[in-house]
Amino acid sequence: MHAVIRSGGKQYKVEKGDKLKVEKLDKEAGKSIKISDVLMIIDGDKVTVGTPTVKDAHVNAKIESHGRGPKIKIIKFRRRKHHRKQMGHRQAYTEIKITNIAAN
């Protein structure tokens, strides 16, 4: 059984046992979460598409850890003006493990 979920403005195709990195969630590591934004469920040949979400469907997941992604450098430069600005950014993420997909 597969499901397409929405978390942090992005969509992910998941199945039981998958580990994925999503945008940072405000829960502690080791806690369980319930994701209700299920956009589609694929169960063998049966496909259920939500409008926009599938009613009475949810995905249970466990928060494994929190972390930060690799550093990305941003450089702003103005030609002939002796002006340069250099910045960096590291995106925060939460690693989750899918424990169950429930559809009624």
d(CA 75, CA 53): 40
CB 6 within 8 A of CB 40: no
Q: Is residue 48 part of a domain?
A: yes
| Residue appearing with tokens 């945008």 | 23
Q: Is residue 58 part of a domain?
A: yes
Q: Is residue 85 part of a domain?
A: no
Q: Over its length of 104 residues, how does the chain's per-residue pLDDT go in tens digits?
A: 999 999 999 999 999 999 999 999 999 999 999 999 999 999 999 999 999 999 999 999 999 999 999 999 999 999 999 999 999 999 999 999 999 999 97
Q: Is residue 78 part of a domain?
A: no
> Cα separations (Å) of 102 from 4, 60, 90?
12, 8, 34
Q: What pTM, to 2 d.p., does this model score?
A: 0.85
Q: Is residue 81 part of a domain?
A: no
Q: Convert the pLDDT of each residue in 76-87 to its tens digit.
A: 999 999 999 999
